[in-house]
Structure 1
Amino acid sequence: MALRVRDAGRLASTATALVLLAGCTSTPEDDPAPADPSSSPSASTSAPPPPSEEPSEEPSEEPAEPEPTERPRPISLAALAEADLTGGGLRLGAVRERTATYTSYDVTFRSTTAGAGTAPLRISGVLNVPAGRGPFPAVVLAHGYIDPASYVRGQGMTRERGFLAERGFVALHVDYRNHAESTDDPRIETAVRLGYAADVAAAARALAASRDVRVDPDRIALFGRSMGGGVMLKALVAEPGLFAAGVGWASVSSLEGQNFDHFQRPDAPVAALRAGFRGRHGLPDDDPAFWRGVSPRPDFDEITEPVLLVHGRFDDTCPPPWARATQQALTAAGVDSTLEWYDDGHAFGPAFVAAMDRTVRFLRARMPA
């Protein structure tokens, strides 16, 4: 049975939770705290018997032993949900672009640390702020996979960022840890990139707390494309209620084992894969429980926000059946979800404007002024 994220409880200490987030598999789990003797019921609350009466042979009723709480694996979406995810310190940098409808800035903000005893991560990004007084609705953008070695600040969703800002949305493109000017987290790959979900959650908190940008904290959505669609679903599972809505374009599968088999298994022999970082967890065939634990689909019932999925019928990067399976699983879990199809490929060329118009209508309906 899938572990319900919120049922696990926030039992870990702050330092341990941050290490779990970073994916440090060598960190021992803390033992549950012993029961507080002062909170146990007394053995008997009745008055002592008179001297002439024999003592009762009935044993006193012992307090019930608390049931042990199941702890999530250190590297899992459940552990991410238990971690103390933080975010703030949004700082505006150089102006990148100024138009009649918006101004674009280089920005940085703080995200959850890479491990106990380390400083918060510094995450870079690009922020488009509409002209006007606000407060504005906002959209956090989670980009798709681009090799971090060649990635540059704000890459991957430039069109979406401008389109949203022109229509009155603050749009914050997140570079993720290990990208552009963001701080490196040396354990990000070992943790199957769960830290990316922490970074977009931090972005939402940074926008909500900003004094420089007037954002309505109750109207912040999350929009991911390709790999970022998976980041979006993980963030909604780990942080229900943080965002007002979620959008996923041309998304990867909501089962990480499928993503591994599709994108990485074909590129290397099994022996090499077993020897690599993922060998520490076992391949999907070796340890299916681990791969389900880092996937959002088993815990879709944690999601409280409406979700719009957009997919191209001719997508040859993320197979269209993935979108259909994700949307069906969302609906089965009780999530308000919609899947829109377009005659386009993975990158969305001819259908871009139509799909963005549909996305804006969805966001405005879910985040009314």
Structure 2
Amino acid sequence: MTRLGRVAATGALLLVGAACSSGSSDGDRDGTADPASPSSSAAGAADDGVTASPDVPEPTTEPSPPPTSGPAELERWFDAEFTGGDLQVGEVRESTGSYTSYDASYRSEGLLVTGVLNVPAGEGPFPAVVLAHGYIDPAVYVSGQGMTRERGRLAEAGYVAFHVDYRNHAGSDDDPALDETQRFGYAVDVVNAVTALRDSTDVPVDDDRVSLFGRSMGGGAVLEALEMAPGHAQAAVVYASVASDAADNQRQFSDGGGFWDDLAARVGTPEENPASYTAASTGPHVDRITEPVLIVHGTADDTCPPAWAEETHGLLLEAGADVRLDWYEGEGHAFGPQFDASMDSIATFLEQAPA
């Protein structure tokens, strides 16, 4: 049994009966609301005599600095030599009859990136999914926030679910060039999380079945990751996603402050400098995507308009990609009544994707 297996077995005995987390929502300007609090399950664990440490073991590799200059163009990362790995598994956050959740960290471009890792009960190896969350202000974001429901449902379905905090979030290292390089570092962290899972000897992952799942801003990061490293993942889910045209995102989310307003101050608006926004968009490069893609969107989403899903779907179809668009009538950005149905469909899609 691996070290992780021994920890899981101990945690399961100590935390019998611990429930899945639930609690308050946290708003997300260009992302999603998380209807489950990531801290509630840790509190439950403490009630059973287990205290989760806030410290995650740091990877042992020596860091190398991320890019600090250069053009903010997506093509800059095409077929790059990605340096992800050294996954470290920390304290148990919660344990249910279906899975155990851990604090975790890994290296991405030399940076420490934290996250939350849900591992199903049993020996494995298990298929895995890397989760890319939507926008939540890094000043208030806590580890694992934004996709608590999705992480739990996937683990219950038998998937290792690795929620990536991203650089500049929670306990991760800061990348001072993140905004200047159009936040492409988030997608790099997603690519490197796949490698970290495959390289780990502690987490029982089926190397041929590692997929991506991005929500809102994270959907954009997943599309970027697919274009940066074609063939690196098995399949991808793009859920209530931002647009594949950076100009659309700037117009929608510029609201008197924040990243998109700062971007316009640096390079101009989409009308003033359209070339910069085209260079930062995934739409012109969807022909690089080789994995099956499932797009999930609600017809009443007023954060990421349904037209964006239609546009991305159309571009992928035109490029000959294996893509499907699932509409959920009346659902808004966060998904409510049909969330379970959407997750059932996603689990089926991932199960059927060719390895």
TM above 0.5: yes
Of the three residues 264, 267, 271, the one matched with 2:256 is 267
**Is 1:208 paired with 2:208?**
no
Instruction: Give, in whole Å, the separation in 1 of the partners of 2:354 and 2:100.
Output: 22
Structure 1: runs of 5+ lacking an equivalent: 1-17, 26-73, 113-119
1:288 deviates by 1.4
Residue 329 in 1 paired to residue 326 in 2?
A: no
CA deviation map 1:129-174 (0-9, x unaligned): 0011111100000000000000000000000000000111000000
1:363 to 341, 350, 355: 350
Shift of 1:286: 2.0
TM-score by length of 2: 0.79
The sequence identity of aligned pairs, in percent, is 54
**3-state SS of the aligned residue for 2:78?**
helix
Structure 1 position 250, deviation (Å): 0.5
How far is the alpha carbon of 1:83 from its aligned partner? Answer: 3.2
**Corresponding position: 1:285 with 2:271:** yes
Q: Is residue 24 from structure 1 mapped to residue 69 from structure 2 by the alignment? A: yes
Alignment of 1:147-296 (within 5 A): 147-264=137-254, 266-267=255-256, 273=261, 276-296=262-282
Q: Determine which of 269, 276, 293 is the counterpart of 1:307.
A: 293
The separation in 2 between residues aligned to 1:104 and 1:172, in whole angstroms, is 10
1-structure distance, mates of 2:257, 2:209: 43
Shift of 1:223: 0.1
Q: CA RMSD in A?
A: 1.7
Determine the C-alpha separation between the residues in 2 that align with 1:308 and 1:277: 30
- What is the SS of the residue equivalent to 2:187? helix
Q: Distance in 2 between matches of 1:302 and 1:268?
A: 33
Aligned residues: 290
Q: 1-side partners of 2:324 and 2:85: how far apart? A: 31
Kindly provide the amino acid, as one letter, of the partner of residue 336 in structure 2.
G
Q: Counterpart amino acid of 2:81?
A: D
Per-residue CA shift, 1:15-57, capped at 9, x if unaligned?
Answer: xxx98x63513xxxxxxxxxxxxxxxxxxxxxxxxxxxxxxxx
- How far is the alpha carbon of 1:295 from its aligned partner? 0.8
Change in Cα spacing, 1:103 to 1:236, as seen in structure 2 (3 Å) is same
Q: Is the 8 A contact 1:135 1:215 kept in 2?
A: yes
Aligned residue for 1:357, secondary structure, equals helix
Contact 1:137-1:367 within 8 A present in 2 as well = no
- Other-structure match for 2:106: 109
Q: Secondary structure at the match of 2:127?
A: strand
SS at 1:22's partner residue?
coil
Contact kept in structure 1, 2:240 and 2:297, CA below 8 Å: yes
Separation of aligned partners in 2, 1:305 and 1:277:
31
Where structure 2 has 5 or more consecutive residues not aligned to the other structure, the ranges are: 1-63
Residue of structure 2 equivalent to 1:353:
340
Aligned residues of 2:116 and 2:144 also touching (Cα < 8 A): yes
**Does structure 1 retain, via aligned residues, the 8 Å contact 2:68–2:176?**
no
- TM superposition shift of 1:277: 4.9
CA distance in 1, matches of 2:202, 2:247: 42
Report how far residue 313 of structure 1 moved: 0.8
Q: Which amino acid aligns with 1:286?
A: E
- CA gap of 1:268–1:183, structure 2 versus 1, over 3 A, is closer
- How far residue 284 of structure 1 moved from its aligned partner, in angstroms, is 1.5
Q: Secondary structure at 1:191's aligned position in 2?
A: coil
Residues 281/352 of structure 1: CA separation in 2 closer, same or farther (3 Å cut): same
Q: Which residue of 1 aligns with 2:302?
A: 316
Q: Partners in 2 of 1:141 and 1:109 — Cα distance?
A: 14
Equivalent residue for 1:89? 86
What SS class does the counterpart of residue 267 from structure 1 fall into? coil
The CA deviation at 1:287 is 1.9
Report the CA distance between 1:268 and its aligned residue. Answer: 5.6
**1:177 and 1:184 in contact (8 A); partners too:** yes
CA distance in 2, matches of 1:313, 1:147: 26
C-alpha deviation, 1:190, in angstroms: 1.2
1:17-166 to 2 correspondences below 5 Å:
22=67, 24-25=69-70, 74-112=71-109, 120-166=110-156
CA distance in 2, matches of 1:367, 1:152: 34
Give per-residue Cα distances to partners, 1:334-369, cap 9 Å, x unaligned: 11100001121100110100000000000000056x
Kept after mapping to 1: 8 A contact 2:100/2:119: yes
Deviation at 1:85, TM superposition (A): 1.5
C-alpha distance in 2, partners of 1:147/1:268?
12
Secondary structure in structure 2 of the residue aligned to 1:229: helix
- Give the letter aligned to residue 312 of structure 2: T
